[in-house]
Amino acid sequence: MKWKRDRDLLIAQTMAFVQSVTGKPMDAERTFEARLPLASPDLPSTTVRPVDVLPARLSPINQSDLRDEIHRRVAAFRDRQQIFHRDRDEYCNAMMAKARASSEQALKARDHRPPKA
């Protein structure tokens, strides 16, 4: 099952990365290595060494750019909220009109009924 081998290799790479970042040996790494299948001596080894991953450097954020981004997001949120409020009001008005119409029909039907003897 190739996916299990791929999963175990990914776990091993992740543990190696964690160890390189923290500088501490991981006890869990031994348990994952125990689960890896042993390679037969007849086949060449296909184990891939984990690649050293360096975090990307973040560029400094300009305060005006950040402020503009926040203003755009707030404006988009307000627009969306207005749409929700308008849709809710339209739905409420439609349901109230429907309820009033059925109530009026019930009153008319009751008024036009012949009295019981």
Confidence at residue 46, expressed as pLDDT on a 0 to 100 scale = 63
Confidence at residue 88, expressed as pLDDT on a 0 to 100 scale = 97
Q: Could you give the CA distance from residue 17 to residue 11 in angstroms, rounded to a whole number?
A: 10
Lowest mean pLDDT segment, chosen from 62-66, 95-99, 111-115: 111-115
The answer, yes or no, to whether residue 111 has pLDDT greater than 70, is yes
DSSP assignment, residue 51?
Answer: P
Helix (H, G, I), strand (E, B) or coil at 85: helix
| pLDDT tens, residue by residue, 4-52 | 889 999 999 998 888 888 876 655 555 555 565 555 656 565 666 667 7
Confidence at residue 52, expressed as pLDDT on a 0 to 100 scale = 73
Enter the pTM of the model: 0.38
E strand intervals along 1-117 = none
Confidence at residue 26, expressed as pLDDT on a 0 to 100 scale = 57
Confidence at residue 57, expressed as pLDDT on a 0 to 100 scale = 72
Domain ranges, ordered by start, for the chain = 2-35, 61-117
Given a contact cutoff of 8 angstroms between Cβ atoms, the answer to whether 21 and 53 are in contact is no
Q: Which of 35, 34, 28 is nearest to 14 (CA)?
A: 28
Given a contact cutoff of 8 angstroms between Cβ atoms, the answer to whether 50 and 17 are in contact is yes
Q: Could you give the CA distance from residue 109 to residue 105 in angstroms, rounded to a whole number?
A: 6
Q: Which of 42, 47, 39, 41 is nearest to 9 (CA)?
A: 47
| pLDDT tens, residue by residue, 39-94 | 565 656 566 666 777 777 777 778 888 999 999 999 999 999 999 999 999 999 99
Q: Which of 36, 44, 41 is nearest to 10 (CA)?
A: 36
